[in-house]
Structure 1
Amino acid sequence: MKYIFLSTGLLLSQLALGQYNYPKTPEKPATDDFFGTKITDNYQWLEDLKSPEVKTWFKAESDYSHSIIDKIPNRDLLYKRMKQVQEMGGDSYSYARQRGNLYFYMKTKKNEKLSKLYTRDISTGKETLIFDPETYKKDAQITFFSIDSRADKVALLLSKSGGEICELKILDLKTKKILDDTLTPLWSEFNFEFTPDGKSIIYTKMSTGDPNSSMLLKEMKAMMHQIGTSSDKDVELASREGNPELNMLTEQFPMIEFSDDYQYILLNIGSTKAESPQFYAPYAALKDKKITWKPIVKASDDITQTFIKGDQLFFLSHKNAPNYKIGVTSLSNPDFDHAKIIVPEGNAVITSIHNSKNYLFYALNNGISQEKYQIDLKTLAIKKVPLLEGINNSGALNPRENDNIQCYNSNWLTPGTFYEYNPENGKAVKSKNFNGETSYPDYSALYVVKEVEVKSHDGAMVPLSIIYPKNMKMDGNTPAYITGYGGYGISSTPRFSNRLSVLLEQGVVLAIAHVRGGGEKGENWHKDGMKAKKPNTWKDFIACSEYLIDQKYTSSSRLIGNGVSMGGVLIGRAITERPDLYAVAIAEVGMTNVLRSQNSANGANQIPEVGNLKEPGDTKHLIEMDAQSKVKKGVKYPAVIVRTGMNDSRITPWEPAKFAAVLQNSTASGKPVLLYVNYENGHFTSDLDVVFKEYSDIFAFALWQVGHPKFQPANK
C-alpha cells in the first residue's frame, strides 16, 4: 500500500479550514507558591466542574472540536473498518470461572458493542445468556462478576457509561431475578466475593459516590453485607478510623479476601503501590465485634503478591532482587529474610504469580516474550507450561476445587488465543469454548515486527518495538505513530489491537517505546522512571522518536506521539521539551498538570509514584514533570488533540481541559489544538461503539495533520 505525502497539499487543507477560532478561554491568573517557586496558573477556574460557566465552556469546546473533525473525510471508513476487524475476530471472551459443571464468562459478540454474562454447560456445551446489561439499565456495563460456591448467585459490578463509581447487584440464578440488595458506591477495581455459605458478601465501600467530591477514593471501608438486608446494616471489617492500629492513610483502601480453604480472612491495605501491607485473621473472626488483624507483610518487605496454603505463605518479592524472586515462609511466623527461595532472581523478570488448587504458576518475561511455569505446591518441582512463543498469561478456573487453568497467548500481529491446560497431564490445548471463529488476514505476511534497543540521553538502552509494512521505502515519508506509558511498573507487552491494526492498514508505522517507569526490565526500570528520575520517561520517549526519524522510518512532519493517563506526563513533557519533534500529539485522559492533580480526589493515590507536594524535595521534581506549566506563548507546538471523558474519576476532566486551553492560547504554529470531550466515556469504556467512534475521529485528525491523502478536507 503506497501513498504520496505532499506538504503543499497539507498546507492547502489547513488553509481550507481557515483560522482556528477557539471558544474564548479567559486567563484568570492564580499563583501557587511551591516552597519559594511561584507558578502562575491561568486556568484554575476550569477546575470547578459544577460551575455553569465551566460546563458551558466544555460544551463549546466539544462542539468546536467536532466542527473541525467533521470536515475530515473518511472518518466513517475508519469506524467501519474497526467494526469489520472486530467481526473478523469473531466473538471475544473474558477469562472464565468454573462452578461445578458450569463455566461463567463475559462475551462480546462480533456484531455487538457490549459484553454480556453467559454460562456454558461443560458436558453438553450449551451456552446460556444469564445477564444482559442493556436490558437492566440505560448505559449499564458489566465491570466484573463473582459467583458463590454453589452457583446459586452471581454478584455483578455495574458501571454507567465507562464510569468507575459502580453499584453491586446480585442475580439469583434459580429465579433469574435481580435481588433488591444494592451496594454502592464501589470502585471498579476492588475485590468482592461471597462467604462460603453464599449468605453474605465482603466488599470495599467508598465514602462517597460524588465524582467531584474531595473525599472520593478516601476513607474507604471493608464491609460485609448479609444478603436480603439493608446495606445500612452492613458490618465494618476494617477502616482507618475503626482500626488505628493498622496505620492506614486516608487515601489507602482496605481490601478483603478469603484464603482458598476459607481458614483465613486476608486484609490488604492497597494503594497505587504494588507493595501492600497485608494482615490476616481466622475466618471465625467475622463474628467478632472487632477483628484483631495480625500483620503478615510490611510495605518494606517489597512483596507484591502472596498466596496462602495451610501454614505456607508463598510470595513474590523484589527485595534485593529487582527482577523478582519467589519464596515460601511460615504464615504463623513469617521470616522473609530466611525464607526458602523457590525461584531465584534471574535475567528475565518474574511478572506475576497465581495459583490453582495444587500448583503455583508464574510468568517469566524477557521483554519480548513471556513464558509460563508451574510449581508443584507439594514437591516444589518446577516445569515449563508448553505454550506457543509470545506473551502467555493465565488464570485459574476454580482454584478452590481444581487445577484447570486458561492460558492466553498473544503477539503484536497475532490475535489472542485461549488455551486450556491442566498441570497433571501437561498438555495445552487450544480452547474449543473460548475462541471466536476468526477470518483475519495473515498480518505476518503483510508487516514486519522489529525489536530494537535505543540509546537514551544517559546511555540507557530503551527497548522499542516497531511494526511496519513489508517492502516499505525507508525515505522518511511514511507516517509513524509512537506511544509510551512509563508508570507503576506496568509493562507494554506485545498484544494485538483491533484499533491499531486499522492504523497499520493506512500505511502507518507503529512503535511502542518501553520507557523507564514501566516494568519491562524489572523493578529498577520502574524506579528509574519515578519521582526525581521521572524525566527519564519522556527523555526515553524522545530518544525513541529520534531513532525512528534517524533510521528513516518517518520524519518529524509525519510523526504522531501518543500518551494515555500516566502517559500524559510522557507526551506532555515530550512536546514541551521538543515541540519540533512531532507533527501531532494525542494526549488521552492524561496527567498533564501534576502540580494540581494532587488536589483531585485521586491525587493522593499518586504520591508513591510521582512524589508529594508537601515535601520540598518531591515538589522540585513535580514541577519538572508538570507539562501545563511548561507551555510557553509564541512556541510552535504540534497539532494536538486532547481527549477527556466526562465520567472520568481517575484523571478529572479539568486536567486535560486545562492542557488544551493553555496550548490553544499559546501555540504559534497555526496548527489546531482540539479538546475532544466524550460525555459517554470515563477513563475508558467497554462500549465498543463509543470506542470506535472516538478513535476514528482521533486517528482521522492525526492522519489529516501528517498529510495522509485520504484524510485531507476539501479545498473550498
Structure 2
Amino acid sequence: MRISGLIALATAATMTVTSTSALAETAENEDTSLLTYPETRTVDVVDEQFGIYVSDPYRWLENDVREDENVAAWVTAQNALTDGYLDKLDGTKALAASMTRLFDYDDLDAPVEAGGKYFYERKSGGQNQAILYVRDVDGGEERVLLDPSTWSDDGATALAEWAPSGDGSHLVYAVQDGGSDWRTLKVVKVDTGEVLPDKVEWAKFTNLAWMPRSSGFIYSRFPEPEEGAAFQSLNTNHSLHVHVLGTVQAKDIKVYETQDRPELNHFAELTSDKKWVVITSSSGTDDRYEMTLVKVDSPEINAETLVEGFDHSWSLIDGVGDTLYFVTNKDAPRQRVVKIDLGAENREWVELVPEHSATIDEAVMIGDKIAVNYIDDAKSRLELFALDGKPLGVVDLPGLGQVSQLHGSAKDETGTFAFDSFNQPSTIYKFDAAGAPTVWARPELPFDPDMIAVSQRFYESKDGTRIPMFVVHKKDLDLAEGAPTLLYGYGGFNISVMPQYKPAWLAWIEAGGVFASANLRGGGEYGAEWHDAGRLDNKQNVFDDFIAAGEYLIAEGITPKDGLAIEGRSNGGLLVGAVMNQRPDLFTAGHAAVGVMDMLRFDRFTAGRYWVDDYGYPNKEDDFQTLLAYSPYHNIQDGTDYPALMVSTADTDDRVVPGHSFKYIARLQAANTGAKPHLIRIETRAGHGSGKPTDKVIAEYSDIYGFMADAIGLELK
C-alpha cells in the first residue's frame, strides 16, 4: 500500500531464512531465557511474481499432517515444546477451573416450531456437545431427539445443521466429525427417534430445507474429492439436490448447478407455504448474489432467474403465494426491505422498509408482520412493521446486547429469538405481533451478571474515523492505574462483532483483567460502506483501527503500557499477525488463532478461493502488491523484538488449512525476534472452531489465556 513499505517488503521477501538452529545460537550468545525451538528444515523455493522474488522456505509445511510423516513429526515436536512451556505456568489450572464453572449453565438455542412441536438445542453443565430436544408447543415433557455424545468416544463428533419437516414428523440433520466443514446428512423420525437408513455424503456449505409433504429435502454438496484430498483440495462445482426419503443418494435429483461457472456456490430455501424454491448463488464471500426461482409444483425443473449479476445482497424473508419479501442493499448500503409480485405482468421491486441510519442484519415474517433486526452502533434493535411497511413499534430488549437466532414465518403467529451480552448468556424470548417479548427460557447462572460492567466507547482511528469499542470488567475493579487488558478484533467479510457471552472471556474478567472488543472496519456494523472501507486495497484500515484501539486503551489509562494482549480468530488471526509485524512495540502478548497468514497462497486450498472478495487475487499485480505489503508470513521483521505470541490451529481445519499457521510460526521462530516465547498449539481432531467439544475449548483457552496472562502480568489464582 505504501511505496516505502513495498520496497522494504520486496527486500524482505527475497531474504534467505535460516533454520531455527540460528535462534538457539542467539539464545546462547544473548539471552538464556530464549527457548530453543525445534529444528525446522528449509527448502529452496522462490517464486517470481511481477518482477518480485518471494522466498517460501517452509512450503513443505503446507502438506497434510495426516498424510506427511515429516509434517506430523514437526507437529509433535512443536506441541512438546509448547506443552513443556505451559506446564510451568501457574495460572492455567486456575483458569481451567474458572472456565469449567462458567460453562456450568444451560446454554440454550431459540426453538424452531414445526407441526405443533418445538425443536431446540441445549448444552448443560459443560457437556461436550449440545443435545437436540423436542416437546409440544402447548407444553409437556421435553425428550431427547439426538444426543451427539453417543456418536464418538472423544466428543469431537457434533450435530451441525438441522431442520424439521413442515409437519414435524421428520428431521434432517448434519453430522460434523472432528471439526471438518464436510457434513454427513441423516434423517430421524420424530415420534420414535428412529434414525432412517437414508444417508447423504459430501454435503458442505449447505442449508437444509424440506419439500412438501415431508417427502424429502433439498441440500447442497460438492463432488466427492479424490482420495487423500478431502481436507486441502479446492471446493468447486457446488450443486443442489433433492433427496427423497427411502432412496439411496445415487438417485438424488439434481435441481441446480452451473457447470459453466464452477466457482459458484448455491444455497436453497423454500417459502413457508412450500410454493417456491429460492436459490441464492454466490461467487465468493462477499454479499453479492444472483437469485434463481424454481416453482415447486411445476411438472419439470425450470429454473427462472430473478436477479442476474453479482451486484447486490439479497436475502429471502419469506413468501406468501406469489409475493416474495427480501432484505437487500440495492440502492441502500445499510439495507432495506422490498417485495416483488411474481404474478404481476410487469414485475417490479416495491420498497416497504426504507434504509435507516442503523443497519438491517436480518428480518423474518411473523404472520402478517415483519420483524427487522437492526445493528445500531454494534448492538441490536428489533422493530416490527406491517406488510405495507408501516412501523408498528420497537420490541423492548433487556439491555445492551445481541439478538440472534430470530425465528418466524408467514405461517406463525409468534416468533422467538435469543438475546445475550458480555455478562449474560442467551436468554430465549417469545414474542408476537404486538411486540411484547416474554421469557421462554432463562438459564441459571454460575456468576452474578450485575457484578460485571459493560460500556461502549468510541475512539478515532488513524484517519479520523470514529470506531466503536466495548469495554468489560468487574465493577469493583479500580482502573485508576489500569489493568491487564485483552483486546479482541476481527474486521472482515461483512461480519459484525456483537456483544456475546463467552466463558473464556468472563474467566479473564473475573481474574481481574479488562476485556475490550473493537468494531473494526471490514465488518458489517455500518453496512456495505463499512465493509468496503476494510477490504481489498483498504485492508490497512482494519489494522490501523486495531492499533488505534490499543493506543486508546493505554492513553485512557485503562491499560498499562506493558499490559496489552490481543486476540483474533481466522481473519482475526491474520489481523493479529499483521499488527504484530507493524507495531510490535505496542503489544505485549497475542493469540493468533486459525489465521490466514500466507496472503500469496490462501486461494489455493479448500475454501480459500472464496476470500478473494475481501483480500483480492494474488495473481493480479495490484492485489499482489497490496497483499505482500501486509501478509504476516512475509513481513516478519528480523532483528525486532516481538511480543509473546501463541499461534493456535487444528489438524482437521479444512477452512483455513493449518499450513498457514505452521509456516508463519516456523519463520517467526527462525528469525531474530527477541526473548519472548513464540509458540504454536496444534489441536487434534478439531477444525476451524465449530463443533469443538467443551473439554477441548476449556483446555485450549486455559492454556492460551494462561500464556497471555503470564506475559502481561495478570495474576491468576
TM above 0.5: yes
| Cα deviation, residue 73, structure 1 | 1.5
The C-alpha deviation readout for 1:608-643, integer Å capped at 9, x for no partner, is 111112322222222123111001322211111000
Match of 1:427 among 419, 430, 436: 436
**1:206 matched to 2:222:** yes
Aligned position for 1:356: 366
Name the CA distance, whole Å, in 2 between partners of 1:378 and 1:402. 18
**1:682 matched to 2:697:** no
Match of 1:154 among 160, 165, 171: 171
Aligned position for 1:60: 77
1:83, 1:692 within 8 Å by CA — same for their partners in 2?
yes
| Cα deviation, residue 472, structure 1 | 4.1
Aligned position for 1:11: none
1:517, 1:529 within 8 Å by CA — same for their partners in 2?
yes
Give secondary structure in 2 for the equivalent of 1:663: helix
Match of 1:646 among 639, 645, 651: 651
1:454, 1:461 within 8 Å by CA — same for their partners in 2?
yes
1:516, 1:525 within 8 Å by CA — same for their partners in 2?
yes
Aligned position for 2:288: 275
1:92, 1:435 within 8 Å by CA — same for their partners in 2?
no
Match of 1:481 among 480, 486, 495: 486
**1:663 matched to 2:668:** yes
Name the CA distance, whole Å, in 2 between partners of 1:213 and 1:179. 28
**1:344 matched to 2:354:** yes
Alignment of 1:363-382 (within 5 A): 363-377=373-387, 380-382=390-392
Name the CA distance, whole Å, in 2 between partners of 1:643 and 1:586. 7
Q: Amino acid of the residue matched to residue 35 of structure 1?
A: F
Aligned position for 2:267: 255
Aligned position for 1:579: 584
Q: Amino acid of the residue matched to residue 406 of structure 1?
A: T
Aligned position for 1:33: 48
Name the CA distance, whole Å, in 1 between partners of 2:681 and 2:377. 34
Aligned position for 1:450: 455
2:394, 2:435 within 8 Å by CA — same for their partners in 1?
no
2:34, 2:677 within 8 Å by CA — same for their partners in 1?
no
Match of 1:321 among 323, 332, 346: 332
Name the CA distance, whole Å, in 2 between partners of 1:173 and 1:318. 39
**1:112 matched to 2:127:** yes
| Cα deviation, residue 503, structure 1 | 0.1
2:233, 2:605 within 8 Å by CA — same for their partners in 1?
no
Name the CA distance, whole Å, in 1 between partners of 2:277 and 2:632. 44
1:394, 1:405 within 8 Å by CA — same for their partners in 2?
no
2:267, 2:281 within 8 Å by CA — same for their partners in 1?
yes
Alignment of 1:538-549 (within 5 A): 538-549=543-554
| Cα deviation, residue 218, structure 1 | 1.4
Aligned position for 1:714: none
2:511, 2:715 within 8 Å by CA — same for their partners in 1?
no
Mark the CA change 1:239 to 1:318 in structure 2 (over 3 Å): closer, same or farther.
same
Mark the CA change 1:130 to 1:301 in structure 2 (over 3 Å): closer, same or farther.
closer
Mark the CA change 1:225 to 1:659 in structure 2 (over 3 Å): closer, same or farther.
same
Q: Amino acid of the residue matched to residue 215 of structure 2?
A: K
Once structures 1 and 2 are overlaid, which stretch shifts more, 198-207 or 373-382? 373-382
Mark the CA change 1:449 to 1:391 in structure 2 (over 3 Å): closer, same or farther.
closer
| Cα deviation, residue 400, structure 1 | 5.4
Aligned position for 1:223: 241
Aligned position for 1:613: 618
Match of 2:414 among 400, 404, 411: 404
Once structures 1 and 2 are overlaid, which stretch shifts more, 16-25 or 60-69? 16-25
Q: Amino acid of the residue matched to residue 426 of structure 2?
A: G
**1:73 matched to 2:97:** no
Name the CA distance, whole Å, in 1 between partners of 2:599 and 2:342. 40
Aligned position for 1:701: 707
Alignment of 1:8-23 (within 5 A): 18-23=33-38
Once structures 1 and 2 are overlaid, which stretch shifts more, 380-389 or 483-492? 380-389
Aligned position for 1:637: 642
Name the CA distance, whole Å, in 2 between partners of 1:157 and 1:690. 21
Once structures 1 and 2 are overlaid, which stretch shifts more, 132-141 or 566-575? 132-141
Aligned position for 1:437: 444
Alignment of 1:456-475 (within 5 A): 456-470=461-475, 472-474=477-479
Aligned position for 2:538: 533
| Cα deviation, residue 580, structure 1 | 0.9
Mark the CA change 1:395 to 1:405 in structure 2 (over 3 Å): closer, same or farther.
farther
Mark the CA change 1:190 to 1:532 in structure 2 (over 3 Å): closer, same or farther.
same
1:207, 1:220 within 8 Å by CA — same for their partners in 2?
yes
1:369, 1:389 within 8 Å by CA — same for their partners in 2?
no
Q: Amino acid of the residue matched to residue 310 of structure 1?
A: G
**1:135 matched to 2:150:** yes
The two structures have a TM-score, normalised by structure 1, of 0.90
1:357, 1:402 within 8 Å by CA — same for their partners in 2?
yes
Mark the CA change 1:517 to 1:200 in structure 2 (over 3 Å): closer, same or farther.
same
Q: Amino acid of the residue matched to residue 598 of structure 1?
A: D
Aligned position for 2:199: 182
Aligned position for 1:551: 556
Name the CA distance, whole Å, in 2 between partners of 1:335 and 1:42. 61
Task: Give the CA RMSD over aligned residues.
Answer: 2.3
| Cα deviation, residue 430, structure 1 | 1.2
Which structure 1 residue ranges, 4+ long, deviate > 6 Å from structure 2? 333-336
Mark the CA change 1:627 to 1:463 in structure 2 (over 3 Å): closer, same or farther.
same
The C-alpha deviation readout for 1:558-607, integer Å capped at 9, x for no partner, is 11011110112211110100111111110000112121111112121101
Mark the CA change 1:573 to 1:333 in structure 2 (over 3 Å): closer, same or farther.
farther
1:569, 1:625 within 8 Å by CA — same for their partners in 2?
no
**1:511 matched to 2:516:** yes
Mark the CA change 1:399 to 1:272 in structure 2 (over 3 Å): closer, same or farther.
same
Q: Amino acid of the residue matched to residue 556 of structure 2?
A: Q
- Which segments of 5 or more consecutive residues in structure 1 lack a partner in the other structure? 1-14, 712-716
Give secondary structure in 2 for the equivalent of 1:430: strand
Name the CA distance, whole Å, in 1 between partners of 2:315 and 2:187. 31
Name the CA distance, whole Å, in 1 between partners of 2:345 and 2:447. 51
1:479, 1:559 within 8 Å by CA — same for their partners in 2?
yes
- Which segments of 5 or more consecutive residues in structure 2 lack a partner in the other structure? 1-29
Once structures 1 and 2 are overlaid, which stretch shifts more, 359-368 or 164-173? 359-368
Q: Amino acid of the residue matched to residue 664 of structure 1?
A: Q
Aligned position for 1:691: 697
Q: Amino acid of the residue matched to residue 344 of structure 1?
A: P
Q: What percent of counterpart residues are identical?
A: 24
